[in-house]
Every structure is written in C-alpha cells, then in structure tokens.
C-alpha cells in the first residue's frame, strides 16, 4: 500500500467505527469470513458462501460493501446482484443452522469522502427485493445444474491459436 492508500483505509475504518450501529456489528461476537457449505435443495448440488460476519446469537448475516456513491447503492444492488447474494447466503444459513437468518444487513461504506468522513449506512432488502433475489438465485442454480448435466456452458467460446503462432510451434 502507498502512504495515501493506508491513510484512506484508516479514515474509512474510523468512519465505520464512528457509526454506532456499524461499530456494534463489527464488534459483536460472531464468525467472520467463515464458510458455510450445503447441498442446494432444488438441485442437490454442493454450494458455499462466506458471509463477512455471522452473528449467530441473533441470526444475522452482515456483508460489507463499498460504493463510490452511497446515494445510488440501490442501483448497485441490482447491478451486482446483491439481492441474489442475500438469497444464496440466506439459503446456506438456513440449511446449516436449521432456520433462516433473522436478518441480512449490508454495511455500506462510500469510497468518496464527504466532510472529512466516508459515509456509512446500513441497509436491508424489502420483501419484494428478497423475493426477486430468491427467484434469481434459484434460476441460477437451475442453469448451473443444466450446464453440469449437458456439459454445455453458455457464453464459453473455444479459441485456436492464430495460423502464424501454429507455424512458429512446428
């Protein structure tokens, strides 16, 4: 890291710890970066997730995200498929612990400084977003199962070496 990058990381950390609820989530007793393995119910295939934090005493999952513009994080949820991540991690949690998580929290930190701090906000998804995430997650699992069964992977192209490269190998 450069000195400037280290300074930015320290300021981001300070911003998170200055937010009382974010600090509580960070400091709460729980498992950080612990993998959860399960067989997905609809396909039977082995899955894995690694939540940033699982606060099992409350049944909460926490995922830390960064964003350039915290006011537009709702767009990031769609663009980066965080609603499907919520569904996948929640399915893994439920399979492992025998009940769905009581909450899934996105701890979001802006990478754009504002008034000497990096804005920090906490988000959960509403039921409509969670339902869309479950639909997307299950569709993705069905596609994965089909690709495994057929050996055909959409979007995968086969390349050959250019003619001139083949000549050099001989």
Question: Beta 31-32 vs 53-55: how paired, if at all?
Answer: antiparallel
Amino acid 17: pLDDT: 96
User: Would you state the torsion angle of the CA atoms of residues 151, 157, 162, 165, taken in this order, to the nearest 10 degrees?
Assistant: -50
Amino acid 166: pLDDT: 81
DSSP string, 10-59: HHHHHHHHHSHHHHHHHHSSSEES--EEEE-TTT--EEEE--SEEETTTT
pLDDT in tens, 8-18: 999 999 999 99
Amino acid 168: pLDDT: 78
Q: Please state, in angstroms and rounded to a whole number, the distance separating the CA atoms of residues 101 and 51.
A: 12
**Which residues is 61 bridged to in the sheet?**
54, 104
Amino acid 165: pLDDT: 86
Amino acid 1: pLDDT: 87
Amino acid 99: pLDDT: 96
Amino acid 114: pLDDT: 86
Q: Please state, in angstroms and rounded to a whole number, the distance separating the CA atoms of residues 2 and 101.
A: 39
Amino acid 33: pLDDT: 96
Per-residue pLDDT of the chain (170 residues; tens, 9 = 90+): 899 999 999 999 999 999 999 999 999 999 999 999 999 999 999 999 999 999 999 999 999 999 999 999 999 999 999 999 999 999 999 999 999 999 999 999 999 988 888 999 999 999 999 999 999 999 999 999 999 999 999 888 889 989 888 877 77
């Amino acid at each position: 890291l450069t000195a400037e990058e280290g300074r930015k990381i320290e300021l981001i950390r300070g911003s998170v710890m200055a937010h009382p609820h974010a600090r509580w989530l960070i400091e709460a007793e729980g498992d950080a970066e612990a993998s959860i393995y399960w067989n997905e119910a609809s396909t039977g295939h082995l899955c894995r997730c690694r939540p940033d934090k699982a606060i099992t005493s409350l049944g909460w999952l926490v995922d830390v995200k960064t964003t350039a513009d915290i006011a537009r994080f709702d767009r990031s949820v769609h663009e980066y498929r965080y609603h499907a991540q919520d569904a996948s991690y929640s399915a893994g949690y439920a399979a492992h612990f025998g009940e769905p998580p009581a909450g899934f929290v996105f701890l979001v930190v802006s990478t754009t400084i504002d008034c000497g701090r990096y804005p920090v906000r906490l988000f959960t998804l509403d039921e409509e977003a969670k339902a869309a995430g479950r639909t997307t997650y299950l569709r993705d699992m069905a596609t994965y199962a089909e690709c495994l069964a057929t050996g055909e992977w959409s979007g995968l192209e086969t390349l050959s070496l250019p003619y001139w490269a083949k000549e050099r190998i001989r």
